[in-house]
Amino acid sequence: MKLFFVVGESSGDALAAGLVRELKRAHPEDLECLGVGGPSMKAAGFNILLPFDQISVIGIWEVIPKIPRIIKIFKALTEEILKQNPDGIVTVDFPDFNFHLGKTLRKRGYKGKIIHYVAPSVWAWRKGRAKKIASFLDGIICLFPMEPAYFKEHKLKAAFVGHPIVESRVDKAEGGVFREANEIPEDSKTLGLFFGSRETEFKGISSVLKQSALLANEAVENLRIIAPTLPATEYNIQVLLKGFELPIHVTSNQRFKWESFKACEVALAVSGTVALELAYAGVPHAIVYRTNPITYMFLRFMVKVKHIHLANILLNESVVPEFIQGKCDPEVIAETLITLFTDKETREKQISKFKEVRKMIGFGDEKLPSQKAAEFVLDIMKDQPRKIVREETPSQKPAASEQKPDNKPDA
């Protein structure tokens, strides 16, 4: 069996890696996994034909200058998939690119299975996508419990498997290990700064995190900064924080990722996957986000939920403070960070609510998310091939016997 994966960012790389491992465990001899991926997938036995960072881009304004290159890659990728003719395609997150790819492949006559991992947030915006993607997908894997119903309504097979963070070693991690290795005194207060993994995020908001930390330092004694990041962004953070007035520990060692998280008493993070990770790890925190004004205006018009932090969305209440766009005021953010350090009731409320979130995303279930996801994929692959209704394109003309005679010349 040959499965072609398409991943567009680092979080998808980590997610797909777990799925690849479980699929290979079920089919150790006769399964080939290849396509667009990253280092985590490669470590799981994946054959990378194209690194995911070649197609990774977010935002509306940000994508415009990269459109020609993306179109070129998209066309080449479509041809490669048709050439490889895999039994199935697994697209992971990155919905705008991957859904367009799925529709294009169906129009080109691809008859294999197409499964998408990470359901789009139809509960937040563009609810009509559920019906549209049901027309070309064979199955969809959901990370959150409220999602399958939106797709089953349109006869698309959907499964809630839980969030992959459930499989992490965060529960075994000890912050004291990181403190000791980095010679952080026991009486020091630690603030985690999480700058995000995308270049556009880093350029747009990194200065807000830096300034907020400096202001918080005025009220929090013996403050030290911990900045967990990825190898690809470590240099940028080192440059940004060069000459920083506070003791800082920048780390990109993924082996001690969770130790660095647990070593943070309080954290400030760019909104994204890391925010849910902090909640799962039980670290009191606040989030910030700022993007291009055009992108933000579009999102503000389209998004139907009150919150952007997944913990707040799942709990349906404002547990984690959110500082979005114009509210990214370092002085106000610093006050919130100080409260999280000094107000015991505020800290304990967050920590207590985070325990509820853990259960909601699969903690304590009999099977791990990647196991449930692999079972779903293999179940879909057992089904009979779907019937494809090809959409006629300008290059597809009906046979002469099917054409109605008339006296008009061809257009």
Q: What is the secondary structure of 368-390 as a DSSP string?
A: -HHHHHHHHHHHHHHSPPPPP-P
Single pTM value for the model: 0.79
The pLDDT value recorded for residue 11 is 83
The pLDDT value recorded for residue 102 is 98
CATH of domain 2-162+365-382: 3.40.50.2000
Average pLDDT over residues 98-110: 97
The pLDDT value recorded for residue 200 is 62
What mean pLDDT, rounded, does the chain reach?
A: 88
The pLDDT value recorded for residue 240 is 83
User: Is the pLDDT at 409 greater than 70, yes or no?
Assistant: no
- Give, rounded to a whole angstrom, the gap between the first and last alpha carbons of the chain: 45
Query: How far is Cα 183 from Cα 169, in angstroms, rounded to an integer?
Result: 23
Q: Which CATH number fits domain 170-360: 3.40.630.30, 3.20.20.10, 3.40.50.2000, 1.10.10.10?
A: 3.40.50.2000
The pLDDT value recorded for residue 57 is 63
Phi first, then psi: what are they for 64, rounded to 5°? -55, -50
Domain ranges of the chain: 2-162+365-382, 170-360
User: Is the pLDDT at 403 greater than 60, yes or no?
Assistant: no
User: Is the pLDDT at 397 greater than 60, yes or no?
Assistant: no
Average pLDDT over residues 141-167: 96
The pLDDT value recorded for residue 239 is 86
**Which two three-digit tokens encode residue 350?**
């967050």
Average pLDDT over residues 349-362: 97
Which of 132, 25, 35 shows the shortest CA–CA distance to 92?
Answer: 35
Please, which residues have CB within 8 angstroms of residue 227's CB and are 6 or more apart in sequence? 192, 193, 194, 195, 237, 241, 248, 249, 250, 251
Query: How far is Cα 147 from Cα 158, in angstroms, rounded to an integer?
Result: 8
Topology agreement, domain 2-162+365-382 and domain 170-360: yes
User: Is the pLDDT at 106 greater than 70, yes or no?
Assistant: yes
Query: How far is Cα 394 from Cα 409, in angstroms, rounded to an integer?
Result: 16
| 19 neighbors 90 (Cβ within 8 angstroms) | yes
| 233 neighbors 56 (Cβ within 8 angstroms) | no
The pLDDT value recorded for residue 294 is 77
Beta bridge partner(s), residue 2: 32
| 115 neighbors 141 (Cβ within 8 angstroms) | yes
Q: E strand or H helix at 290, and its extent?
A: none
List the Cα angle 232/236/238 in 5-degree steps.
110
| 126 neighbors 120 (Cβ within 8 angstroms) | yes
Residue 220 CB neighbours (<10 A):
22
| 98 neighbors 120 (Cβ within 8 angstroms) | no
User: Is the pLDDT at 176 greater than 90, yes or no?
Assistant: yes
| 206 neighbors 239 (Cβ within 8 angstroms) | no
Query: How far is Cα 137 from Cα 91, in angstroms, rounded to an integer?
Result: 10
Average pLDDT over residues 72-76: 94
Looking at the chain, the whole-number percentage of residues with pLDDT higher than 70 is 89
Band (pLDDT 50/70/90 cuts) for residue 188 is: very high
141 three-class SS? strand
Average pLDDT over residues 321-344: 95
The pLDDT value recorded for residue 199 is 64
